[in-house]
Structure 1
Amino acid sequence: MADTLHLVCPHCHTTNRVRQHDLVKSPGCGHCHRPLFEGKPAALDEAAFERHVGRSELPLLVDFWAPWCGPCRQMAPAFEQAAAQLEPQVRLVKVNTDEAQALSARLGIRSIPTLALFQGGREVARQAGAMGAADIVRWTRSHLMA
């Protein structure tokens, strides 16, 4: 990673430049002034997802889910716990497949919940099925080191 990273704000989706060593200092967005990391996943629609994948230099862990899905609701607290452990090295986000049907179809999301890890603008790993927080953290870190 370079000394300066491009990070997309989870609130206003503005791209920010942040020095790598400042990631642990709870940086704020230069546009909306809200925190770039809050230790919890951000909800993204299709346009925001494309902006985060295309512009952010941090790995992006996406939980593809739907509100009617029992296993998705069961995994939600674990995904939030994983966010608290993985941020600011990884951005965790949720994409509602009912609201982003075209994106889900384009990416071939066939079952939910599905976790997909993106790095450098492309998908590097995928895992279907609910997992606990420790398993989410371990799975994510194992694919980032590969």
Structure 2
Amino acid sequence: MPMNPHYALTEPLRDAVDSLSARWPVLVEFGAPWCPHCINAQPLLEQAFEDRHEQVQHIKVEDGKGQALGRSFKVKLWPTLIFLRDGAEVARLVRPTNAEDIRTALRRVDGD
């Protein structure tokens, strides 16, 4: 699956994310469309996804105060990228500043 450029209209439930990550590698991106750090991370994500991670399910979640999914992952800063495989977190990047860190985490979650 290619990079997802759009935030989900509704926040998925934690059980749904855990269930999906038991079947597929998942990247959950927490942020907000107006956040400058999140905006700056988008070209880095695009570059990292050029490596063709077809199996990775990319879920973009607009986070905010009181949002249950972000709190369940203990998200404090945006963007936070959480890489899940087999129902477990395998990598986490907070405010990434280069595409190579994202590529490395994608390879880990994708099994490369």
Partner of 1:33 in structure 2? none
* Unaligned segments of structure 2, at least 5 residues: none
1:18-29 correspondence to structure 2 within 5 Å? none
Partner of 1:94 in structure 2? 60
* 2:5 aligned with 1:51: no
**8 A Cα contact 1:86 1:137, kept in partner:** no
TM-score (norm 2): 0.74
TM-score (norm 1): 0.60
* 2:3 aligned with 1:40: yes
Partner of 2:82 in structure 1? 116
How many residues align? The count is 109
Shift of 1:137: 0.7
* Unaligned segments of structure 1, at least 5 residues: 1-36
**2:78 aligned counterpart, secondary structure:** coil
* Residues 115-124 or 47-56, more deviating: 47-56
1:137 counterpart (89, 103, 108): 103
- 2: distance between equivalents of 1:85 and 1:91? 14
Partner of 2:28 in structure 1? 62
**1:89 aligned counterpart, secondary structure:** coil
- 2: distance between equivalents of 1:143 and 1:60? 7
Q: Deviations over 1:36-56 (max 9, x none)?
A: x3x222633322664343135
Instruction: In structure 1, give the amino acid aligned to 2:63.
Output: T
Q: Percent identity?
A: 31
Highest CA radius of gyration, 1 or 2?
1
